Amino acid sequence: MEKAIAELRTLLSADDAISTDDDDLRAHGYSEWSSINIDQLPVAVAYPRSTAQVSQIAAVCHRYKIPMIPYSGGSSLEANFAAPFGGVSIDFAHMDRIIELHADDMDVVVQPAVPWMELNEKIKGSGLFFPVDPGPSAKIGGMETSVAVVPFPTIREAASAAAQIMRAGVPVAAMEIMDEVQMSVINKVKATKRTWKEAPTMFFKFSGTKAGVQENIKLVKAIAKSHNAGNFEFTVDPQDMKELWSARKEALWSMLALREGDLDVWSTDVAVPLSRLPDIIEISKKEMDDLGVFASVLGHIGDGNFHESILYNRKDPKEYEAVKNCVYRMVDRALEMDGTCTGEHSIGLGKKASLLKELGPETVEVMKSIKRALDPHWLLNPGKIMDH
């Protein structure tokens, strides 16, 4: 390994291209975001500045049979960038350029570390945006954007309204949900400038022509009302939109802000067909509440995807097991409802067993065969998704 690191230092030449600093290694092998962490850390961190340098790193690691673990935003929730076999973490922080925008073809070439919000800011003059979250300032030509917020008496009513909106084909640009616990967290930590009603709440974004946006708001408002929704707030003013959407933006940060001492947050997700969304959210929320710990439901409900966030004491074995069982019962429930074990977080280390349940050993074996063909030495992010 030392020989490989020396070669990489020579090849990449920049003084900060390779790091073996203890704090740097920990930052690239351990995550406060993740529900799962392991003791093993990478042995080194490489900071390439070009595709050519990535190829040089890969060539050296392949020659010495050293695992490579890609690292970008560091926001993984299933230990996706953990280093179970050590190796080199490849951090793309310096590869953050927008290479070329092809507005007529509606595509863009970027390097791996471009933040999506920054991308949207840079390309907004083209009238395009990277979905699913059009920025509040998206007023290009005849385009108008509006944000709406509406509370519901129960989480089931909110989920049922979401399913009906999707079935009705109303073109909402984004549709999010947060339960009463999450809304209370936002208030408790004063994450936004306003005080929110502590009830299950849905957040919408609309985008299109002025007339189209107004019509879509009218349709959503009517569906929400049929599910006993409360006051329906909406605005087209950029500053007001930013304020209305702020609670959704601050959700995870607010939960993390509650951690003290040995408290940790277990965040996981599943996705189910829209028709089963109210059922799984209602059942899963009740099971979470029965744990007697601080727990909330939130998610991008328009595609049947939602998240559980549970605050628990990681040093209490009994509490840890109870939370773990609750989480995996929810995952199994999603599979029983013809859903998937993850909608966004991906498999990583945490959901390998769930993937096996979902797809079966035969399908996973086919995936392994493809992996072996492309990565015969299992050097590319090994240990994730499937075992060797």
Which residue shows structure tokens 């600093």? Answer: 21
Q: Tokens for 53?
A: 């340098």
CATH number of the structural domain spanning residue 307: 3.40.462.10
pLDDT of the chain, 388 residues: tens digit per residue: 899 999 999 999 888 899 999 999 999 999 877 778 888 999 999 999 999 999 999 999 999 999 999 998 888 888 889 999 999 999 999 999 999 999 999 999 999 999 888 898 899 889 887 865 544 443 344 456 889 999 999 999 999 999 999 999 999 988 999 999 999 988 988 888 889 999 999 999 998 888 899 999 999 999 999 999 999 998 888 887 888 777 777 777 787 788 888 888 898 999 999 999 999 999 999 999 999 988 999 888 888 899 999 999 989 999 999 999 999 999 999 999 999 999 988 999 999 999 999 999 999 999 999 999 999 999 999 999 999 8
User: 374 lies in a domain?
Assistant: no
Find all residues with CB under 8 Å of 114, minimum gap 6, and list them. Answer: 96, 97, 98
pLDDT at 132: 55
| 6, 15, 56 from 9: Cα distances, Å | 5, 8, 11
Q: Are 313 and 319 in contact (CB under 8 A)?
A: yes
Q: Tokens for 2?
A: 């030392």
Q: How many domains does the chain have?
A: 1
Alpha-helix runs per DSSP H in the chain? 2-12, 22-27, 51-63, 116-123, 155-167, 180-188, 210-226, 238-249, 251-257, 277-290, 317-336, 352-359, 361-374
C-alpha 268: how far from chain center: 9
User: 52 lies in a domain?
Assistant: no
Q: Tokens for 85?
A: 């076999």
User: 377 lies in a domain?
Assistant: no
- Total residues found in the chain within this entry: 388
**What Rg, from alpha-carbon coordinates, does the chain have?**
23
Domain around 322: 142-345
d(CA 306, CA 281): 8
- Nearest of 243, 267, 241 to residue 182 by alpha carbon: 267
User: 1 lies in a domain?
Assistant: no
pTM summary value: 0.84
Q: Are 244 and 147 in contact (CB under 8 A)?
A: yes
- Nearest of 251, 255, 232, 150 to residue 192 by alpha carbon: 251
What are the tens digits of pLDDT across the range 82-138? 999 999 999 999 999 999 999 999 999 999 999 888 898 899 889 887 865 544 443
Q: Tokens for 165?
A: 């909106």
| 42, 93, 254, 327 from 321: Cα distances, Å | 28, 36, 24, 10
User: 249 lies in a domain?
Assistant: yes
User: 82 lies in a domain?
Assistant: no
The one-letter amino acid code at 214 reads Q
For β-strands 98-102 and 144-151, DSSP reports them as unpaired
Q: Are 207 and 144 in contact (CB under 8 A)?
A: yes
Any bridge partners for residue 267, and if so which? Answer: 309
User: 45 lies in a domain?
Assistant: no
Q: 131 exposed, middle or buried (CB, 10 Å; 0-12, 13-18, 19+)?
A: exposed
Q: Tokens for 106?
A: 């509606």
User: 72 lies in a domain?
Assistant: no
The one-letter amino acid code at 92 reads F
Q: Are 298 and 255 in contact (CB under 8 A)?
A: no
Which strands form 44-46's sheet, in the order they lie side by side?
18-19, 44-46, 88-91, 68-71
- By three-state DSSP, how is residue 282 classified? helix
| 165, 182, 196, 257, 322 from 261: Cα distances, Å | 42, 21, 28, 12, 19
Which residue shows structure tokens 């790091």? Answer: 19
The one-letter amino acid code at 362 reads E
